Amino acid sequence: MKGFAKKFMLVMSVFILTLPIFTSEVAAATFTQPELELNASAGMIFDENSGQIVYSKNPDEKLAIGSITKIVTLYLVTKAIKDGKISESDLVTPTQEQADMTQDNELTNVRLDADKSYSVKDLYNAAWIVSSNSAAMMLAGKVAGTQAKFVKMMRKTVKDWGIKDAELYNASGLNNSDLKTDMYIGPTDGENKLSANDIGVIVKHVLDQYPEILQTTSQTKLSFPIDNEIKTYDTLNFLLKGQRDYQEGYEFDGLKTGTTEQAGESFVGTLPLDNTRLVTIVLNAQGEENDNDKRFRSTQKLVHYLRDNFDRKEVIQKDKSIKINNKKYKTYEPVYVWLPKNSNIEDLRYTVSSDDLGFTAIHNKQTVKLIATNTNSGYLPFKKADVRKKIHKETNQKSWWDQIVEFFNHLF
């Protein structure tokens, strides 16, 4: 009888400890958000600094991404340069197959010759600004030795970032059927696929770590050596200043277009706005087949939607205390959240973040991350690589949680 009473008290303790959590979640209501009809298979706009998603459509659907692939490819090239593994001045010679691809306007747009060598810097610029497929593959080979090894690096990188089911087969974003067998891994008709959520996580990692990439992606012209002269190519990002879809007040400075038959016309954009940085994602923009600007108009629709319907509000001041489940947390810095216009910041609810997003606060001399729980579209599923690895310490004493688990295992 005494044993049963002890077990009963343990169950009741667990119930009482978790009750405030359940009560808090029930009380939190989401804010009413204006509707948006986005002409694309999937899309998103989020705050790059906080990771807050302001709007999303089909964020978890895996779709072909075309040359948006190169964001991952060129991240790894940037990392190799920063780590001193390769240099911008290093010269790379294309294989005959890579050079031959540049004679096909459907596959690439910067001519490369198999009897010439090109600097890593020139190839890097060509891959970012005009999306040269052969340049991307040459850089991949320079970093990893072979295309297959590089794709495995890509897969490991996104897996480390919490993306477990990415479909990545090559460094360029083309369909494998357009490539020679040594340029890809996987099925002969495989095509790289990610979701809008996946792309958002990738872009946040890339811009958090290497914001200087924007110095390249904001360029409207590529100067590239061809036949002992310098030839100029125009950017593929028509939202940059001076380009045909540019709108004053929306100063895009990146990031990457993506186009294949399966991917349609897609675009990942970024721009500074209201003292933060926004990222837009449009996958497979819908419209007339001969309309080459539909992805950019859909992107503009996203940023206009945000500016017309939302305000970035300071919801908590620096050095202020907030209470969560009867625990007090003190903020380190002002906290900003995108909220629908005329909404009440007192309606926001907060909790301890389950990943690496959130604002910094302190409780019992311990630093933690807190996050708003009832914004309409939530936050990116963002985790920093290699940070959250668990360290197990050997001990002869069981934790209270282990005791609870053991109790339930032997209850019946």
- Active-site residue list: 67, 70, 131
Q: Quote the CA–CA distance of 220 and 235 in Å, as a whole number.
A: 5
Nearest to 299 by CA among 52, 55, 50: 55
Q: How far is CA 392 from the centre of its chain?
A: 30
DSSP state of 111: -
Could you check whether the bond before residue 283 is cis, i.e. omega within 30 degrees of 0? Answer: no
Distances (CA, A) of 398 to 18, 204, 402, 411: 20, 39, 6, 18
Q: Quote the CA–CA distance of 327 and 53 in Å, as a whole number.
A: 27
3-state secondary structure of 390: coil
Instruction: For residue 404, count CB atoms less than 10 angstroms from its CB and return exposed for 0-12, middle for 13-18, buried for 19 or more.
Output: middle
Residue 118 in contact with residue 89, Cβ under 8 Å?
A: no
Residue 113 tokens read as: 């010759």
Distances (CA, A) of 328 to 28, 106, 345: 18, 60, 19
Long-range contacts, stretch 314-320, CB < 8 angstroms, 24+ apart? 315/339, 315/345, 315/348, 315/372, 316/359
Residue 134 in contact with residue 96, Cβ under 8 Å?
A: no
Residue 179 in contact with residue 97, Cβ under 8 Å?
A: no
Long-range contacts, stretch 183-188, CB < 8 angstroms, 24+ apart? 183/97, 183/137, 183/147, 184/147, 184/148, 184/151, 185/147, 185/148, 185/151, 185/152
Half-sphere exposure of 184 toward its Cβ, with a 13 Å CA cutoff? 23
256 a known binding residue? yes
- Residue numbers in the known binding site for substrate are 256
